[in-house]
Structure 1
């Protein structure tokens, strides 16, 4: 793990023979475009779920396995396959190189999206339709879980000296771009072909587009430069669980770094519109508009946060995020009304604070582990924490509402952010020290 440097705000030069790639712009493009495509494919399912369910999981299906498989498709990927993907694809990145892992993840995502587009309806193939869809979604979960591990290490290792924070910020620039494109394509298709044709075939077109975009991402990534040398890749390969066995403290540290951030991220980027609808009767259409505006604003903030971290360090931004949410999550969520401007201001305010984490997350995680096990070391504990605390955010919010205590959810968010704040206080500053390669 890195320690603070006395060299001041300028990062020292990397050690001999471990210089970052010579084409950082191409590296940034390869990671960002591919990651945006990954998240487009992953999130398109969310936006199109109602159309898919009507064709693949129809109401009144006579086979009792259909609703069971529908539930499995929703939950198994989010709570199982992403951590598995983080572990397996992280191991590929550590053993065979970051570029190899990025190639595998984007081809896997493209193939699974094409499979989803070709899924037969329940009317045409019976139980085979839901089975194919579940397999496709599980493969998508494997891919997106591995993407974070591989692209995080690739981005940060590709950064020129003194620019790790800036490069790190593009992790969430591209993730947010993928989410916006998925939302926009869904809206465009619906406006172009109408609800009936959208139900019949339009939803499939979105996944065909995702498969084609994956080929574009694959082509761009093929021209990227590997961030590990031939000698490093020829060294004895780490075991699948070596990062966990050899670096248990660092693995737990990744969990602590991520806990508060993932609940805040999923609450403010995904669940907040539903929270407003359920608790104050906010208009559904208006909430989608607010979400789109807020996410575009959020994407623009990321490079600024990354550059600030390169100048002043990661810890000031992390602590601003965590303490800000610990103090303000409750009043912010309680201030949501059925006013358009109210929700917009609350969402944008939370995303400003959240930028303190998202803009530096890749750099902070990469600075925790040595290069030999960096991808797998990040991938598994990060994805597991996201599954436990981020993926369950909508469930917890709904649960508190059903139990008659909707006001408890903001305190839940604030409490987890306070836990991460305590971790950040003890986290060594790694911004101004060379990254181990």
Structure 2
């Protein structure tokens, strides 16, 4: 059943575009300014995943340690950053719901840029010994805090500026820029692996993608400085004299909605990171693929993901979030083992393997397209930044951040190459009832102030 927080509040317009006072340029600026931070965030998280084996060797491999042990430690650092996302979501979400989306997003992108660039400057284990993994972990923690504050603000901005009947499409841009960020990271990693020899890539080439965060972050900062505050937040702020309108819902109702949101996102979180980020290391360490082959497969998977997102968001504006997201979840449950079997089959053609990873990415896209709008519709303006940010970050902390660690460790212990499919199917099956509980007409309802 739906949470109390979903049913609370009146039905106000989606934004100025919804009540006739806004202009299309304001909505377009909201899309660009909201998207750019997501792009940087997921570009970096993708780069970290794609270079996991190199980072393991540079930061987590003292004398006598095995490559698998180092990779497990690398993914443990990866997971730790995700577990700090809920802290960032709570911290920055509270600020964003109190003082506004715009100033909070400016602060978040500044922290994200600084932490990402720092990774490109860190000394390795060979230089500073045991301090190296701790310094890397600190940078990852700062990234986790900033990433936790990014999603809630970006989705609030996009959906609160969305014109009527296009909230799914506008929210899908958040996920689309995630795909673009992952693709950019994979493409740059593949390019560096092609143009640099192994020694240069291991020695200094891996640092370049992290240092590129500086110019990207400055561009994002400029865009957000030009961003207007959202119409929904301005209305809620102006209604402070009317507590019945502006006061937040009871904390218990908000936490129930957050828990329900986690359930609705868990399949997206698990499948997205398994097929789009963890895949390169799995292909290399388990199936014996080369670094270039693994990255190429990941680029194809992310292409399928990217191409499905915007159509899925737009389709959800027509037939509802529930129908599209349930279809994506069922597709992942049904196809996970056959798709992984194709990758494991030495006799499978390159075209068949490419089709398998493309289909896996597209199935995840069916969840990622409607997902942001679905979350925004679960919370009123007074707690939207905090609520949807916490739901997303908690789901990612448990089911995304731990994916690489769980999959790598279970394969190490069991030798079962099907573990990625087991993980995806199990998590999607558990989350399916929460998606089935979505109301079929949420896409037609206005966001609540």
TM range (shorter): 0.7 to 0.9
Q: Residue 370 of structure 1 aligns with which residue?
A: 380
What TM-score, normalized by structure 2, do the two folds share? 0.83
Q: Residue 7 of structure 1 aligns with which residue?
A: none
CA distance in 1, matches of 2:79, 2:420: 24
Q: Residue 362 of structure 2 aligns with which residue?
A: 352
The more displaced of 328-337 and 160-169 is 328-337
1:85-164 alignment runs, 5 A limit: 85-122=88-125, 125=128, 127-164=130-167
Q: Residue 433 of structure 1 aligns with which residue?
A: 445
CA distance in 2, matches of 1:17, 1:179: 31
1:37 aligns with 2:40: yes
CA distance in 2, matches of 1:243, 1:272: 41
Asked if structure 1 preserves the Cα contact closer than 8 Å seen for 2:17 and 2:163, the reply is no
Partner SS for 2:443: coil
Partner SS for 1:431: helix
Deviation at residue 292 of structure 1 after TM alignment: 0.7
1:8-407 alignment runs, 5 A limit: 14=14, 19=19, 22=23, 23-57=26-60, 59-60=62-63, 74-75=77-78, 77-122=80-125, 125=128, 127-227=130-230, 228-230=232-234, 232-233=236-237, 235=240, 245-276=252-283, 281-282=288-289, 284-336=291-343, 337-338=345-346, 339=348, 340-401=350-411, 402-407=413-418
Q: Residue 425 of structure 2 aligns with which residue?
A: 414
The more displaced of 78-87 and 29-38 is 78-87
CA distance in 1, matches of 2:77, 2:390: 20
**Count of aligned positions:** 423
Partner SS for 1:118: coil
Deviation at residue 2 of structure 1 after TM alignment: 5.4
Residues 397, 249 of structure 1: alpha-carbon distance in 2 compared, 3 angstrom cutoff: same
CA distance in 2, matches of 1:307, 1:121: 46
CA distance in 2, matches of 1:39, 1:246: 31
Cα deviation per residue 1:74-109 (whole Å; 9 max; x = unaligned)?
155334212212222222221221122211111001
Deviation at residue 375 of structure 1 after TM alignment: 1.4
CA distance in 2, matches of 1:38, 1:83: 15
Partner SS for 1:247: helix
Cα deviation per residue 1:239-288 (whole Å; 9 max; x = unaligned)?
xx987544232122111101222112122212345555566555553232
The more displaced of 130-139 and 186-195 is 186-195
Unaligned runs of 5+ in 2: none
Cα deviation per residue 1:162-209 (whole Å; 9 max; x = unaligned)?
110111111121011111212222333444454434444433333221
Residues 397, 55 of structure 1: alpha-carbon distance in 2 compared, 3 angstrom cutoff: closer
Deviation at residue 140 of structure 1 after TM alignment: 1.0
Partner SS for 2:228: coil
Asked if structure 2 preserves the Cα contact closer than 8 Å seen for 1:41 and 1:109, the reply is no
The more displaced of 345-354 and 331-340 is 331-340
Cα deviation per residue 1:315-364 (whole Å; 9 max; x = unaligned)?
11011112222333333333432332232222222223222211011000
Asked if structure 1 preserves the Cα contact closer than 8 Å seen for 2:152 and 2:386, the reply is yes
Unaligned runs of 5+ in 1: 4-10
What TM-score, normalized by structure 1, do the two folds share? 0.85
Deviation at residue 412 of structure 1 after TM alignment: 4.1
Deviation at residue 13 of structure 1 after TM alignment: 5.3
The more displaced of 174-183 and 244-253 is 244-253
Partner SS for 2:277: helix
CA distance in 1, matches of 2:301, 2:143: 26
Deviation at residue 150 of structure 1 after TM alignment: 1.6
The more displaced of 213-222 and 283-292 is 283-292
CA distance in 1, matches of 2:437, 2:133: 48
Asked if structure 2 preserves the Cα contact closer than 8 Å seen for 1:306 and 1:359, the reply is yes
CA distance in 1, matches of 2:336, 2:79: 29
CA distance in 1, matches of 2:353, 2:250: 42
Cα deviation per residue 1:394-419 (whole Å; 9 max; x = unaligned)?
33334443325544653442232222
